[in-house]
């Protein structure tokens, strides 16, 4: 704690509260630092930069309780490291953070994409009609329904992902898609809690994707926490994605690298929508909208309700 306190003083936050937090199902401890919207991301950057020195990885979070008391009261009321969401049918499974992290190293996320594609392919013709109407409204032009139905009958378009990929190529060929979608990504702006206390949590881990083993991600109900961590690890390796904030149903990530091509962005969009369908479903955005947005964004927003 002395190293952390020293860093806070040097950062100019001598008066910020610093609290040690025992972690359930573990002999480890984490630390909570009082922050607000004016300093939380700057402080995250600082502690992320020195995590090899402190041995802790930072993540911003908020407390969802109805406490009308102090920051410390809200922290005490928050069951930050609750274990029951990790419980499954196998009550013999070790749900300690370290055990979850270890299992994540051999976990796969590919089945999630197949499942999402299958579900969204169930009403493919209805989806096609909706998309064509939307294209006509946005661009004043769309491919012909007859042409697409013929491709479907020949088996050239068999699924949601294949259809969205075909429409994406059409938009690019028309040289309209990128321009028309430039300012259509406000749904990916980071969430800003209002009237809630926030904290920077320092966890005894090396990699930010392992945060999900300590603080439950509700989107993991679509897949396992282990597979969720595997997905975040993949994004870290491919794009340098770091988890900045964890708000239970919402995740903020900062990346070093953008997709290298529109095809790369489309594959990433498929992964993100499969991982957190509410990201596009709630604002009514398309998979193509997300694809175009990811080509020019260094900050990602993922949302999934339980």
- pLDDT tens sequence across 250-283: 999 999 999 999 999 999 999 999 999 999 999 9
Predicted confidence (pLDDT) per residue in 169-185, tens digit: 999 888 655 555 556 79
How far lies 146's CA from each of 76, 124, 163, in Å? 61, 14, 14
- Whether the pLDDT of residue 1 is over 70: the answer is yes
What is the mean pLDDT of the segment spanning 292-299?
A: 95
CA distance 287 to 89: 34
Residue 267 makes CB contacts below 8 A (sequence gap 6+) with: none
What is the mean pLDDT of the segment spanning 198-205?
A: 97
Q: Quick one: pLDDT band at residue 140, thresholds 50, 70, 90?
A: confident
Taking the model in full, what pTM does it have?
Answer: 0.94
What is the mean pLDDT of the segment spanning 51-77?
A: 87
What are the phi and psi torsion angles at 243 (to 5°)?
A: -75, 120
Q: Quick one: pLDDT band at residue 294, thresholds 50, 70, 90?
A: very high
């Amino acid at each position: 704690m002395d190293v952390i306190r020293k860093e806070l003083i040097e950062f100019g936050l001598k008066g910020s509260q610093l609290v040690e937090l025992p972690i359930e199902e573990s002999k480890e401890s984490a630390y909570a630092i009082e922050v607000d919207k004016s300093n939380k991301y700057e402080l995250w950057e600082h502690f992320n930069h020195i995590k090899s020195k402190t041995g802790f990885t930072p993540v911003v979070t908020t407390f969802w309780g109805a406490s009308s008391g102090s920051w410390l009261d809200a922290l005490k009321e928050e069951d930050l490291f609750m274990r029951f969401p990790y419980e499954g049918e196998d009550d013999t499974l070790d749900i300690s953070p370290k055990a979850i992290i270890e299992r994540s190293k051999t976990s796969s996320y590919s089945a999630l994409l197949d499942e999402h594609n299958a579900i969204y392919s169930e009403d493919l013709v209805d989806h096609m009609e909706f998309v064509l109407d939307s294209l006509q409204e946005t661009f004043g032009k769309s491919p012909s329904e007859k042409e697409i139905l013929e491709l479907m009958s020949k088996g050239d378009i068999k699924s949601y992902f294949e259809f969205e990929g075909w429409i994406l190529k059409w938009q690019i060929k028309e040289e309209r898609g990128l321009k028309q979608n430039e300012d259509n990504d406000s749904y990916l702006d980071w969430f800003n809690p209002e009237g809630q206390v926030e904290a920077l949590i320092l966890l005894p881990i090396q990699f930010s994707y392992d945060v999900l083993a300590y603080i439950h991600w509700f989107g993991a109900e679509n897949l396992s926490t282990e597979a969720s961590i595997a997905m975040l690890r993949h994004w870290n390796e491919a794009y340098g994605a770091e988890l900045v904030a964890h708000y239970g149903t919402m995740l903020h990530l900062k990346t070093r690298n953008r997709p290298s091509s529109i095809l790369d962005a489309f594959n990433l969009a498929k992964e993100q929508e499969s991982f957190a369908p509410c990201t596009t479903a709630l604002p009514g955005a398309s998979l193509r909208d997300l694809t175009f947005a990811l080509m020019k964004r260094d900050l990602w927003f993922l949302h999934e309700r339980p």
